[in-house]
């Protein structure tokens, strides 16, 4: 889709697009939005009751014939939204037709012949934003909602769409704006050396705003996991059973299982949904010192995956590992804020009884993790316990989700930039800098905060955001 900027007259064109998925369906919806949506519809649609759509009340549905005098395209329902009461904030008509791609194509062609133009990606939602129906971050949440494929992603998106932290950001911005105006007013009276803005009250406000921004920034790590899933790295020596475990969890033979050491060279990613969260499993090459070039890359990749993962499954078996090796591996690779699950695999195999094997590991790795499960990936033993662990982990994460959580990288960047600017304002205040210098950084912070909700925006940013939407949304 092109991100061509819309001219102001185009913003008010009547646009048309298929609102349902392409392909054959029970029904297909063609959506029209714009000042002429209703008059255009009256040229191509005749309701069986004989009342023009221009004369029916808003939010009503009408059965009728769609087509030209000469040829009927379909018998369908027209839903009418009038005035500003629609999704886009302008007149909208939605034709619910029989879901034949041919019919839907013909209906769109007829709308085009009658003066509409094809909508660009996300243009309906863009209009909702431009007409003040949605803040920019709410509009973005609409795209997230459509893309959501887990309960958690859905929960985050729907909270954002219903307002999320919009009002909080707007309040913070308004308070900062009031102060900025007072400081800028002083500039007009610079000869007289007056201070309209109470500096200590300003410092208090600044502190509050910075704390809130920091809180929102911190919420991003959880928000991002809820939205995009939790990356789990499966690591361990070659032949520890990583592929077997992944297959068992996925219940399908995606990864290559082989008795020859070091065959899982590429990383494979698979997603399973447990407790409403998408766990994104990353299978990795066995970690060991190796001379083999290709495998060395695999080993490096495994280390990189650990770095990117929020959770690490470390597999070992008693036949091939010593507690010392395992402890050493955890100590060497553990990263702060990641959750490690030690999986003692192959418990179906006989071992020389060492009742202290697991205990000695747990004792030594206590600063990092206390989760150790005995499993047999091959036999499926205790995999239910592992899934239960993931399920309760998912539930804990979901509980932390609330309306003031951020999950969008654009919002994260904007908040980070706003915080940086506010830090500079704080430094400026401490140095008793003049109002004109403070105002520069304040304006910068206001700009970044405003860019989140769209209080300030430019066509390039909007083009970027809405081009990621689908056509018809």
Q: Does 344 bind ligand GDP (CB under 6 A)?
A: no
What are the DSSP calls for 301-351, one per residue? HHHHHHHH-SEEEEEEETTT--HHHHHHHHHHH--TT-EEEEEEE-TTS--
> Parallel, antiparallel, or unpaired: how do β-strands 27-33 and 92-98 relate?
antiparallel
- Coil, strand or helix: which one is 385? helix
Q: Within positions 247 to 266, which residues make up the interface with ligand GDP, using CB under 6 A?
A: 257-259, 264
Report which residue's Cβ sits closest to ligand GDP.
241
139 contacts 125 by C-beta, under 8 angstroms: yes
Q: Does 298 bind ligand GDP (CB under 6 A)?
A: no
Least spacing, CB of residue 347 vs ligand GDP, in Å: 7
Task: Work out the number of other CB atoms within 10 angstroms of the CB of residue 20.
Answer: 18
Q: How many amino acids of this chain bind ligand GDP (CB under 6 A)? A: 20
Q: Which stretch binds ligand GDP (CB under 6 A): 27-35, 155-163, 375-383, 450-458?
A: 375-383
212 contacts 221 by C-beta, under 8 angstroms: no
Q: Does 146 bind ligand GDP (CB under 6 A)?
A: no
Q: 275 is written with which tokens?
A: 């407790």
Residue 364 Cα distances to 206, 395, 404, angstroms: 45, 29, 39
Q: Does 242 bind ligand GDP (CB under 6 A)?
A: yes
Least spacing, CB of residue 265 vs ligand GDP, in Å: 10
Q: Does 378 bind ligand GDP (CB under 6 A)?
A: yes
Q: Does 284 bind ligand GDP (CB under 6 A)?
A: no
- Coil, strand or helix: which one is 376? strand
Q: Which stretch binds ligand GDP (CB under 6 A): 8-16, 231-239, 319-327, 356-364?
A: 231-239
Q: Does 433 bind ligand GDP (CB under 6 A)?
A: no
* End-to-end alpha carbon distance in the chain: 13
Q: Which stretch binds ligand GDP (CB under 6 A): 96-104, 193-201, 301-309, 346-354?
A: 346-354
Least spacing, CB of residue 262 vs ligand GDP, in Å: 7
d(CA 53, CA 93): 9
* Residue choice 236, 435, 463, 472 for contact with ligand GDP (CB under 6 A): 236
Q: Does 239 bind ligand GDP (CB under 6 A)?
A: yes
Least spacing, CB of residue 255 vs ligand GDP, in Å: 7
Q: 175 is written with which tokens?
A: 């308070």
What are the DSSP calls for 33-88, one per residue? ESTTHHHHHHHHEEETT---GGGSPSSEEEEEEEE-SS-EEEEEEEEEE-TT-SSS
Q: Which stretch binds ligand GDP (CB under 6 A): 187-195, 197-205, 344-352, 366-374?
A: 344-352
Q: Does 376 bind ligand GDP (CB under 6 A)?
A: yes
Q: 7 is written with which tokens?
A: 């001219």
DSSP 8-class letter at 151: H
* Residue choice 133, 210, 227, 346 for contact with ligand GDP (CB under 6 A): 346
The nearer residue to ligand GDP, 74 or 318, going by C-beta atoms, is 318
Task: Work out the number of other CB atoms within 10 angstroms of the CB of residue 229.
Answer: 22
Residue with tokens 């654009």: 410
The nearer residue to ligand GDP, 231 or 241, going by C-beta atoms, is 241
Q: Does 240 bind ligand GDP (CB under 6 A)?
A: yes
Q: Does 171 bind ligand GDP (CB under 6 A)?
A: no
Footprint of ligand GDP on this chain (CB under 6 A)? 236, 238-244, 257-259, 264, 286, 345-346, 348-349, 376-378
């Amino acid at each position: 889709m092109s991100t061509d900027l819309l001219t102001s007259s185009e913003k008010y064109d009547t646009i048309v697009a298929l609102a349902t998925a392409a392909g054959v369906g029970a029904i297909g919806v063609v959506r029209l939005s714009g000042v002429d949506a209703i008059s255009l519809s009256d040229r191509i649609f005749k309701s069986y009751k004989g009342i023009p759509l221009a004369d029916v009340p808003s939010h009503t549905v009408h059965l009728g014939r769609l087509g030209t005098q000469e040829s009927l395209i379909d018998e369908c329902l027209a839903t009418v939204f009038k005035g500003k009461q629609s999704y886009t904030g302008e007149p909208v008509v939605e034709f619910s037709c029989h879901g034949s791609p041919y019919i839907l194509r013909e209906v769109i062609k007829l709308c085009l012949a009658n003066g509409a133009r094809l909508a660009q990606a996300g243009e309906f939602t863009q209009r909702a934003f431009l007409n003040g129906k949605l803040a920019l971050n709410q509009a973005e949440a609409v795209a997230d909602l459509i893309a959501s494929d887990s309960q958690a992603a859905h929960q985050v998106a729907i909270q954002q769409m219903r307002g999320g932290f919009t009002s909080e950001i707007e309040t913070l911005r308004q308070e900062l704006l009031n102060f900025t105006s007072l400081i800028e007013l002083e500039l007009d009276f610079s000869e007289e050396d007056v201070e309209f803005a109470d500096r200590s009250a300003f410092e208090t406000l600044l502190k509050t705003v910075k704390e809130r921004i920091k809180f929102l920034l911190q919420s991003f790590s959880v928000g991002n996991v809820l939205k995009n899933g939790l990356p789990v790295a499966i690591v361990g020596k070659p032949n520890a059973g990583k592929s077997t475990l992944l297959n068992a969890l996925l219940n399908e033979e995606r990864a290559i299982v082989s008795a020859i050491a070091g065959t899982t060279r590429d990383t494979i990613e698979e997603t399973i949904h447990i407790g409403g969260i998408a766990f994104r499993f990353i299978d990795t090459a066995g970690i060991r010192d190796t001379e083999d070039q290709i495998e060395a890359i695999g080993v490096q990749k495994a280390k990189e995956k650990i770095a990117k993962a929020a959770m690490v499954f470390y597999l070992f078996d008693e036949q091939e590992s010593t507690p010392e090796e395992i402890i050493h591996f955890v100590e060497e690779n553990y990263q702060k804020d990641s959750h490690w699950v030690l999986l003692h695999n192959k418990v179906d195999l006989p071992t020389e009884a060492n009742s202290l094997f697991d205990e000695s590991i747990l004792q030594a790795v206590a600063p990092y993790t206390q989760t150790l499960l005995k499993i047999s990936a091959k036999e499926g033993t205790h995999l239910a316990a592992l899934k239960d662990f993931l399920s309760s982990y998912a539930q804990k994460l979901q509980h932390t989700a609330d309306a003031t959580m951020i999950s969008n990288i654009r919002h994260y960047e904007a908040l980070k930039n706003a915080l940086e600017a506010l830090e500079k304002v704080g430094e400026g205040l401490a140095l008793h800098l003049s109002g004109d210098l403070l105002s520069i950084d304040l304006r910068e912070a206001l700009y970044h905060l405003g860019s989140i909700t769209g209080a300030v925006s430019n066509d390039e940013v909007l083009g970027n955001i809405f081009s990621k939407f689908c056509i018809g949304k």
